[in-house]
């Protein structure tokens, strides 16, 4: 299906972050996944190693992205690109919620610090 209405987006909550899936295989996408992340104020992200490249566009607020040990505070309109195999963490060190749009390819998996592997449904 080439169109996904806002009301059809699928919501997932994990590690204190809300993931609102707008494009995934369950919604008709064959190659790409895209979702909106709603990151609460004062939250620290779970570091994880990603299997696919991800692109992050900050929609609102300020987020700190750490990619392979390099950190940057990003604001509205800023973009970060995390290569496949990189160690990634996202945090919101501010007192305001923040939002970002994330795009990757179908099949992304992540390895957490304890060695467990997750296959997020918003990236399937």
Decide if pLDDT at 67 tops 90.
yes
pLDDT on residue 54: 98
Q: For 15-123, CATH number?
A: 2.60.120.10
- CB-based burial, 102-118: b 16+ in 10 Å, e otherwise: bbbeeebebeeeeeeee
Confidence of residue 2 (pLDDT cuts 50, 70, 90): confident
Phi first, then psi: what are they for 109, rounded to 5°?
Answer: -125, 165
Q: List, for residues 8-56, the tens digit of each pLDDT value.
A: 999 999 989 999 999 999 888 999 999 999 999 999 988 999 999 999 9
Domain boundaries, the chain: 15-123
pTM reported for the whole predicted model = 0.94
Instruction: Compute the mean pLDDT over every residue in the chain, rounded to the nearest whole number.
Output: 95
């Amino acid at each position: 299906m080439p169109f996904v209405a806002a009301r059809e987006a699928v919501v997932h909550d994990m590690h204190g972050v809300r993931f609102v899936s707008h494009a995934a295989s369950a919604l008709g996408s064959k190659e790409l996944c895209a979702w909106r992340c709603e990151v609460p104020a004062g939250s620290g992200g779970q570091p994880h190693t990603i299997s696919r490249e991800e692109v992050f566009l900050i929609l609102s607020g300020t987020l700190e992205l750490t990619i392979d040990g390099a950190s940057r505070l990003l604001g509205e309109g800023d973009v970060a690109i995390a290569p496949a195999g990189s160690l990634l963490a996202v945090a919101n060190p501010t007192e305001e919620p923040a939002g970002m749009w994330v795009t990757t390819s179908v099949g992304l998996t992540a390895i957490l610090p304890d060695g467990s592997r997750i296959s997020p449904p918003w990236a399937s």
